[in-house]
Structure 1
Amino acid sequence: MERGSPDAFAEQGTLGVEEEFFVVDEAGYPVSGSDELVYEGERPARLADRLDHELFKTVIETQTPKSESLAAARENVHAVREALVEYAAEHGFRVAAAGLHPAARWRELEHAEKDRYRAQLERIQYPQHRNTTAGLHVHVGVDDPDKAVWVSNRLRWHLPVMLALSANSPYWNGYDTGLASARAKIFEGLPNTGMPTAFADYEAYQRFENRMIDSGSINDRGELWHDVRPHSGHGTVEVRTPDAQADPAVVLAFVEYTEALVTDLSERYEDLAAPDGTDGCMRREVLDENKWRALRYGHAASFVEREGTGTVDLGEVVDRECDRLGVSGIRDVYDADSGATRQRRVLESEGLDALCRELLV
């Protein structure tokens, strides 16, 4: 069983991006293609060891190489995407992205045959059988395990902000859920997901991780699927909150924001003489409320503030964060319509065929 190590946390500020995509036909409808692309095809060099399937044979994941800077991360995101689109086309497929595919019907889709996923289906049953989700994961290297836990604790308030901005999955199983990100709610049906609790230090987190493995609750540390986690294999803080996106500019806005948050928090950690892992952290229940607001309302969400009893609109948070951190991408994302809004508009005005084309990468 795979376990992590504190020794993994050795580099500060490196970046890695994992994106989940739907394999679709020429018209943009989901099809089974991961076996052919992952196992049977001859991958281009850019995708060597950078391509994997997920639970359903219509979902595929890419991983960028480790990047030493934001500029390198941008290049790698574009390069990996371009390679995937070209490779898929060579095999008669196209690629689409959203938190959930509006044309996907989970009962009609094939599951991957990998032992890991078969074991999950047997253990989790219905919640995993219906898990047709696709997300965006951003890794930022942190050079100390206790710092990684401290940063993860304090990132939690920002996760609903990212979810609201990324909300791109109003439809599930052919139904308008009324949510901006139904993916977030579907995924929360699995065990060990959602907003994590705060941990005092890395030792406390490692005890939790090992206890979950030793008790048979999970098969390996990778099955702790919380919205943020200290990744004890890669030595990163991994943010797993956003919906998948067709537009690389939106992806890179979240990479920029996540990198800025981790850098800012890491610098503040260094300034503290004896940082307390959980001191000043909000209750998980309040953070869950903020997540609910994000997945329900998307760009129209407001959030319970970290201090006091008031709320703050997403737009105000975006302005504040851009000014504080010197980022701009999330403002562009906020100023545009959300993915959920665009999907509803296209479906209502042009129909499902047009919406499937809209999600093509």
Structure 2
Amino acid sequence: MRSVGVEEELLLVDPDSGEPVAASDAALAAADRRAGQHGRDSAKDHRFEEELQKEQVEFATEPVTEMGRLQEEITRCRGEAARHADSAGARVVALATSPLAVEPSLSDGTRYRWLGEQFGVTAQEQLTCGCHVHVSVDSDEEGVAVLDRMRPWLAVLTAMSANSPFWQGQDTGYGSYRSRVWNRWPSAGPVEIFGSADRYHEQVTAMVETGVLRDEGMIYFDARLSASYPTVEIRVADVCLDASGPVLLAALARALVETSARAWQDGIPPDRIGAGLLRLASWRAGRSGLDGPLLHPETMRETPAADAVRALYRHVREALVDHGDDDLVREGIARLLEQGNGARTQRRLLEEEGSLSRVVSRCADLTTSG
């Protein structure tokens, strides 16, 4: 069975105001100290890393094969992140953008300075938190075959995870405004069909050699081959408010990888949908979330969001059954369609609380509630 790992980025916020605070250095120092107390070698032995801005922190789970284990990993990591943030006088919150106005602070180091100089306001304003799902593949050739075949379905994952309706103190009208901010990067978004691992690597090399990108780490495709692990990395999702959200995404992502790999093995070619149409599907998913129409992955025509989600489920159901994840995904989809995603929750909380600061506080509680 294919292993799955999840990377989550979390905001660091002031416990009283809910405004983002530049506390990542102190939070990571706390993580180092705790690792040392357990006889481990500081940063190499915990799961936390700095990100582009000092107002956020990232963790990565261990790779697992069972979704119950993944739920435990995510809950544990979120709890540890909360303790590290508390040591730094902050709270962690799983929001993909800050509801409150913020002027982010670029992290230290040569790489981040280069990004700030090269990309200007794009880098300076890029305070967004995503959820990346890694699914193991047997080879680069299989991985690229999977990338080619999963392209039409990725926007549905964006809509399901949408958790960023607010930006700089205003309602954007989007479910996932993070996805729009993220796509300012010149290497981000949907891509054309590669056809082979050689063509994929040739394209990546050519992009880096332009000088626009610093290195392969800036290949920000919606899904890519990981440069560090034998995995396909799916990068389209907002960080989810509740810890069950990334588990649902991971189960669907693994099933999507497996379904795509089986199609390749059976000689079924990828759908010849151009990147232009996929960009429209991505925009539609970011705009609507689950509260408006999406583009159906098979027809590229508008359809109710619930129909697109159910189409994804039908597309991968055989793999879900084989993995033992069918009940988890069916129940998770039913709950999501009934209760809504993080964007709907944030808007509901604003109606209840009347204050974006209170929205952040309530969401911080939900982040670590398990």
Structure-2-length-normalised TM-score = 0.87
The aligned residue for residue 6 of structure 1 is: none
Deviations 1:155-175 (A, max 9, x none): 221111111111111111122
- Specify whether residues 112 and 308 from structure 1 end up closer, same or farther in structure 2 by C-alpha distance, changes over 3 A only: closer
- Given that 1:51 and 1:61 are in contact with CA atoms closer than 8 Å, whether structure 2 keeps it comes out as yes
The 5 Å alignment of 1:204-243 reads: 204-243=199-238
Aligned to 2:342, which of 339, 352, 358? Answer: 339
The aligned residue for residue 20 of structure 2 is: 30
The aligned residue for residue 120 of structure 2 is: 125
The aligned residue for residue 304 of structure 1 is: 295
SS for the counterpart of 1:193 is: coil
The aligned residue for residue 81 of structure 2 is: 84
Work out the CA distance in 1 between the residues paired with 2:192 and 2:34. 40
The 5 Å alignment of 1:217-296 reads: 217-272=212-267, 279-296=270-287
- Given that 1:318 and 1:331 are in contact with CA atoms closer than 8 Å, whether structure 2 keeps it comes out as no
Aligned to 1:58, which of 55, 72, 86? Answer: 55
Does residue 321 (structure 1) correspond to residue 302 (structure 2)? The answer is no
- Specify whether residues 306 and 26 from structure 1 end up closer, same or farther in structure 2 by C-alpha distance, changes over 3 A only: closer
- Specify whether residues 23 and 304 from structure 1 end up closer, same or farther in structure 2 by C-alpha distance, changes over 3 A only: closer
Aligned-pair CA distance for 1:26: 1.8
- Given that 1:16 and 1:63 are in contact with CA atoms closer than 8 Å, whether structure 2 keeps it comes out as yes
Does residue 187 (structure 1) correspond to residue 182 (structure 2)? The answer is yes
Aligned to 2:362, which of 338, 346, 358? Answer: 358
Task: Indicate the RMSD between aligned Cα atoms, in angstroms.
Answer: 2.1
SS for the counterpart of 1:194 is: coil
- Given that 2:297 and 2:308 are in contact with CA atoms closer than 8 Å, whether structure 1 keeps it comes out as no
Letter of the 1:68 partner, please give it.
Answer: T
Work out the CA distance in 2 between the residues paired with 1:306 and 1:169. 23
Deviations 1:41-74 (A, max 9, x none): 5144698341111111111100112223333322
Work out the CA distance in 2 between the residues paired with 1:148 and 1:244. 24
Does residue 96 (structure 1) correspond to residue 93 (structure 2)? The answer is yes
Letter of the 1:57 partner, please give it.
Answer: K
Higher alpha-carbon deviation: 52-61 or 30-39:
30-39
Work out the CA distance in 2 between the residues paired with 1:43 and 1:226. 35
- Given that 1:167 and 1:339 are in contact with CA atoms closer than 8 Å, whether structure 2 keeps it comes out as yes
SS for the counterpart of 2:236 is: coil
Aligned-pair CA distance for 1:349: 3.6
- Matched residues, percent identical? 29
Aligned-pair CA distance for 1:261: 0.9
Aligned to 2:102, which of 78, 101, 105? Answer: 105
For structure 2, the 5+ residue unaligned runs are: 318-325
The aligned residue for residue 142 of structure 1 is: 137
Residue-pair matches, total: 344
Higher alpha-carbon deviation: 303-312 or 81-90:
303-312
The 5 Å alignment of 1:153-172 reads: 153-172=148-167
- Given that 1:57 and 1:110 are in contact with CA atoms closer than 8 Å, whether structure 2 keeps it comes out as yes
SS for the counterpart of 1:42 is: helix
Aligned-pair CA distance for 1:205: 0.7
- Specify whether residues 66 and 308 from structure 1 end up closer, same or farther in structure 2 by C-alpha distance, changes over 3 A only: closer
SS for the counterpart of 2:92 is: strand
Work out the CA distance in 1 between the residues paired with 2:219 and 2:147. 14
- Given that 1:254 and 1:330 are in contact with CA atoms closer than 8 Å, whether structure 2 keeps it comes out as no
- Specify whether residues 122 and 70 from structure 1 end up closer, same or farther in structure 2 by C-alpha distance, changes over 3 A only: same
- Specify whether residues 307 and 35 from structure 1 end up closer, same or farther in structure 2 by C-alpha distance, changes over 3 A only: closer
SS for the counterpart of 2:294 is: strand
Structure-1-length-normalised TM-score = 0.89
